[in-house]
Amino acid sequence: MAEHHIPEHSSPSKTPKRLIMVIVLAFVVPITIVVMLTQLVTNVGSFGTDHPGMSEEAIAKRLKPVAEVVVAGAAPAKEEKGGKAAPAAPAATPAPATAPAPAPAVVAKADSGKGKAVYESACVACHGAGVAGAPKTGDRPAWAARLKGGIDALYAASIKGKNAMPPKGGNLSLADADVRAAVDYMVGLVK
């Protein structure tokens, strides 16, 4: 009878020295790669203190709030140089209430200075692109639909807010006359 030779299971490492070297490399190489990657990720975009983006002024500008809350009757704080706000002046005593002046019957020309300035500061963000259903500046059919209710209704909606539009276009510090001037400006562009 012939003897069958069955090979024994053997490892690729023929010596214990090689086996130990493979085991050590199996731990060291991945750890080294992870450490190198973390160093790369944590150092990307880091600046020294001499970088202009790390100056106190640049940091203060980035941390400056985008808006401020003004309580009715209080004057907004004026910002001083250096990013610090000066204390607000005490609120003036409100004048006795008088009847509002009647709205002008004639819409101002499209080039009115105050109306254009208010439009560019508060209104263009929504009315320039037609955001949230706001009639686009210069879109005659959209403005005609709103003018059917009359210019006084348009003034009231602009001052008090309507649908997605906040009162005074989100700038509550505007005087009613300034809001009317902006409405006159936008309406004047479609007439």
Distance of alpha carbon 75 from alpha carbon 90, whole angstroms: 7
* Greater pLDDT, 176 or 82: 176
The topology (CATH level 3) of 113-188 is Cytochrome Bc1 Complex; Chain D, domain 2 (1.10.760)
- Residue 131's pLDDT band (cuts 50, 70, 90): confident
Separation CA 3–CA 8 (nearest Å): 15
Distance CA 42, CA 38 (A): 6
152 pLDDT higher than 80: yes
Q: 123-132: list long-range contacts, CB under 8 Å, 24+ apart.
A: 123/169, 123/182, 123/186, 126/165, 126/169, 127/186, 131/164, 132/163, 132/164, 132/165
Q: Is the pLDDT of residue 111 over 80?
A: no
Give residue limits of the domains in the chain. 113-188
pLDDT confidence tier of residue 25, bands split at 50, 70 and 90: very high
Q: Report the pLDDT value the prediction gives residue 107, as an integer from 0 to 100.
A: 42
CA distance 155 to 162: 11
- Please tell me which residue, 47 or 15, carries the higher pLDDT value: 15
Which pLDDT score, from 0 to 100, does residue 49 have? 66
The beta-carbon contacts of 148-157 under 8 Å, at least 24 apart in sequence, are 151/103, 151/107, 151/183, 151/187, 152/103, 154/183, 154/187, 155/103, 155/179, 155/180, 155/183
